[in-house]
Amino acid sequence: MTVAELAAKIGADVRGDGTQTVSRCGGLEEADEHTVSFLANRRYVKRLKDTKAAAIVLSPGDADRAGERTLLVASEPYFAFREAVVTLHGFRNQPKTGVSDLAVIHETVTLGRNCCVQPFAVIEAGASLGSNCTIYPHCVIGPNVTIGDDCIVYPGVVIYDDTVIGNRVTIHANSVIGEDGFGYATEKGVHHKIPQIGNVVIEDDVEIGAGCAIDRATLGSTVIGTGTKFSNLIAIGHGTKVGPHNLFVAQVGIAGSSKTGSHVAIGGQAGVTGHITIGDRTQIAAKTGVVQNIPADQQWGGYAAMPLDDMKKVAWEVIHLPGLVEEVAQLQKRIQQLERGRDAGTGQSAQ
């Protein structure tokens, strides 16, 4: 389609030649004369002069720095570029409907309309799937699991018994939902397992990345709220309540019985201890160790976690520690020289 046609679909204004034809999306460096690219971070402004892209999606402020190029100007450029990718490429095509003869499905399972169950998937007794679900090979869906409409479960996923999954949920390869939580009672030095009799509830429009693990609750439910998105290798402890529309980056770990509010964002490799609450719209920097409650609308980082501005000051001081250590060593040496001079009665000034 032309740049002008694309602009109308993604809600952007054209600056420049709207008659150029575009067929794909790509980064600034690899773009060619049929590619739509984008600029969402100003550190890459300098690349605009070299890119061969037919058009660039960017914000009004960045458009003023872009020079004589064809631009698609949008108030939210990253979302506008997302719309361009959807328009020109669409989403991954899922397999056609139908149940493979090589799938193992218990006779009590309920399958909705237009479901696709691929070879070597196992669906156990009492499970129920809504309409338009796709179950890839080597998935195991345990007894009495409930899955809503339009869900996609990629290869190797294991969903334990009694898990409840809403509509339009995507679970990527090799994730495990509803395994036993880490619950033991220690008596006379022996760790005795506590039966984990709760379950996991995943609400609508959630996406779980590859290799994630979500513990079932000891009692009640571990809950992943509506619209929340997980990257890969996320670990959620038993009884945790993740609020709606959270974003967790890779290798986040949350211990049991913690709670996050709505629109919480947690950076990669951050850890959250158990039994604490993180307020709405709070942002946690990567590698943060959260060991206390955090109020709403905060930005925290560091270990142990502190307000982000304080963390930056601490990080700055740590960077300069080697120089400070050397300076202290020189001062100590000078003091020793002055003390030796005094003890020898040289009359040296202590100045």
pLDDT tens for 273-320 read 999 999 999 999 999 999 999 999 999 999 888 888 888 888 888 888
- Cα–chain-centroid distance for residue 34? 31
pLDDT over 90 (residue 233): yes
pLDDT over 50 (residue 26): yes
pLDDT over 80 (residue 41): no
- Mean per-residue pLDDT for 17-34? 92
* Rounded Cα distance, 349 and 184, in Å: 68
Tokens of 305: 């976690």
pLDDT over 60 (residue 349): no
Between residues 344 and 213, which one has the greater pLDDT? 213
Prediction pTM value: 0.86
238 is catalytic: yes
- Mean per-residue pLDDT for 258-268? 97
| 27 phi, psi to nearest 5 deg | -75, 165
* Rounded Cα distance, 114 and 89, in Å: 24
From the list 138, 191, 238, 263, the catalytic residue is 238
| 8 phi, psi to nearest 5 deg | -65, -35
CA distances from 1 to 126, 196, 223, 350 (A): 49, 55, 43, 82
Question: For residue 276, how many other CB atoms are within 10 A of its CB?
Answer: 17
Q: Where are the alpha helices (DSSP H) in 245-307?
A: none
Which residues, including other chains, have CB under 8 Å from residue 82's CB and lie 6 or more apart?
A: none
**Domain 3-89 CATH class label:** alpha beta
So what's the pLDDT on residue 305? 87
So what's the pLDDT on residue 350? 47
Share of the chain above pLDDT 90, in %: 77
* Rounded Cα distance, 166 and 145, in Å: 11
Q: What is the mean pLDDT of the chain?
A: 93
- Mean per-residue pLDDT for 121-148? 98
Residue 136: Cβ-neighbour burial (10 angstroms; 0-12, 13-18, 19+): buried
Tokens of 126: 């009492």
pLDDT over 90 (residue 64): no
So what's the pLDDT on residue 346? 54
| Cα maximum dimension of the chain | 101
pLDDT tens for 3-25 read 999 999 999 999 999 999 999 99
pLDDT over 50 (residue 198): yes
So what's the pLDDT on residue 311? 84
**CA-based nearest residue to 265, from 244, 282, 242, 240:** 282
Reported as a pLDDT band with limits 50, 70 and 90, residue 104 is very high
pLDDT over 80 (residue 218): yes
* Domain residue limits, the chain: 3-89, 98-309, 320-351
* Rounded Cα distance, 156 and 175, in Å: 7
Q: Which CATH fold topology does 98-309 show?
A: UDP N-Acetylglucosamine Acyltransferase; domain 1 (2.160.10)
CA distances from 169 to 53, 136, 175, 204, 213 (A): 35, 14, 13, 6, 15
